[in-house]
A and B are shown apart, each in its own frame.
Chain A
């Protein structure tokens, strides 16, 4: 049975694109129906992506997150889920524009690539792979949200506009995103270490990917402590969130694409 992936993928992209346009419109037309429509479109896009992911998983027999297209697609799905969590909990509305724009870039850059699912190699045939990869991208998604909140915090501090949430809420969202991302990434590292031990015979690898993953963990562990220090609250924390996400991007894409590692993307 052929999976109707293409309409689902482009349908999700289209929904996110329309949502971004409506969020932009909301900056000018401050009516509830505008952000509600944007939210419904994001939800629709997320449902389409979820359906596509479920179909791919069922067809492959494993969670298909093994190449660049698949990881970008899964990351985009996790980022949409993260946005929906914050929107339902905090009604962030216009703040969603930046996150959904990041999501558009992610999904948009994935679409031109082949969506074919490669056969599962024996080394990846373990539940530890599913746990490690899904928790990794869930953590990355929250770090991306923290990055977005950090950027918005710095913008709001400069613009002082009613279009964005107030500084206190943005700081609270940033701290929560970092905390949740760190928690999920810690679980990712634990399952990854267990898997490394049973697959390679050691739980820490000095491969560049292993070293930088540990650095990501250490950086965000530091951030979990920095929120208690008055001098680092607010602007400092926002800057750290932006820097932290650059470390995440290098670990995920930079190493995967530019260097030889034990987590190749191509």
Chain B
């Protein structure tokens, strides 16, 4: 009996709206203070986007804990906030019959949980690689995924003034000789495959066999959580649209928010 009362109280705390306000406020204040340091310390924070967060924390942040502690601390707060949102969502599901009108709001909660989970997954298990130069016909192994990437064709695109405006890369992805995907990657149109994304970043020219040969410079990133993040985004987007539609109906019916 005492245990069930304790569990009940604990569950109410996990689902608490006030807890979500406290966590969101703490995260906001912490990140406001910490992020001000970022533009003034490029040696520490400049490489954050070029590697997964897990690797950055182990290799870079560990060398400057006084400047970077706020990032893992903020991460813990966001993870707790996601846990709080998940508990709220489960609690809503358990009382669905009485609270179905809040479908939109709780889809937003679910979306947030999925996006945070995806980010944490990608931070630990993903990889990022920049400045991968490939000549036409050249292949590059991707040992982390046991795949091979081949540049089959490359063509820079110029405007009337001779300024480069795009890069057309015909890329092929192989698994042990078997073609998985072939696509023409260009600006805003990467080659993607199950969490892998290959983006034309730049190009150059090199002298080979007495001829000037162009080569493509690719960014190769892998995030295993990206499909979960996309699902979360779809859930959140649908939740927003549902909430917008239901907001006006609720106002017309005189529904007022619960006051706690």
Contacts and interface: CB of A to CB of B under 8 A. Distances in A.
Contact of B188 (A183, A199, A207, A211): A199
B188 A123 contact: yes
Nearest to A230: B259
Interface in B162-218: 165-166, 187-190, 197, 199
User: What bracket does the count of chain A residues touching chain B fall in?
Assistant: 35 or more
Contact of B257 (A122, A215, A228): A228
A199 B240 contact: no
B17 interface: yes
B237 A200 contact: no
Interface string B20-49: 110011011001100100110000010011
Contact of B260 (A125, A221, A230): A230
A200 to B, nearest CB: 7
Contacts of A105: none
Interface stretch (B89-97, B141-149, B221-229): B221-229
Interface in B222-260: 223, 226, 229, 233, 236-237, 240, 243-244, 247, 257-260
Given A186-B236, A202-B49, A218 B28 contact: yes
Contacts of B38: 206, 208, 211
A218 B27 CA distance: 8
Contacts of B221: 201-202
A242 interface: no
Interface in B34-72: 35, 38-39, 45, 48-49
Interface in A209-238: 211-212, 214-215, 218-219, 221-222, 225-230, 232-233
A6 interface: no
B166 A222 contact: no
B219 interface: yes
B12 to A, nearest CB: 15
B9 interface: no
A190 B211 CA distance: 46
B260 A198 contact: no
A193 interface: yes
A204 B189 CA distance: 18
Contact of B39 (A208, A221, A226): A208
B31 A187 contact: no
B164 to A, nearest CB: 9
Contacts of A199: 187-188, 199
Contacts of B20: 222, 225
A126 B186 CA distance: 12
A207 B244 CA distance: 30
A197 B243 contact: no
Contacts of A190: 233, 236-237
A222 B237 contact: no
Interface of A: 122-123, 125-126, 128, 179-180, 183, 186-187, 190, 193-195, 197-208, 211-212, 214-215, 218-219, 221-222, 225-230, 232-233, 247, 259-260
Interface of B: 17-18, 20-21, 24-25, 27-28, 31-32, 35, 38-39, 45, 48-49, 108, 119, 128, 165-166, 187-190, 197, 199, 219-221, 223, 226, 229, 233, 236-237, 240, 243-244, 247, 257-260
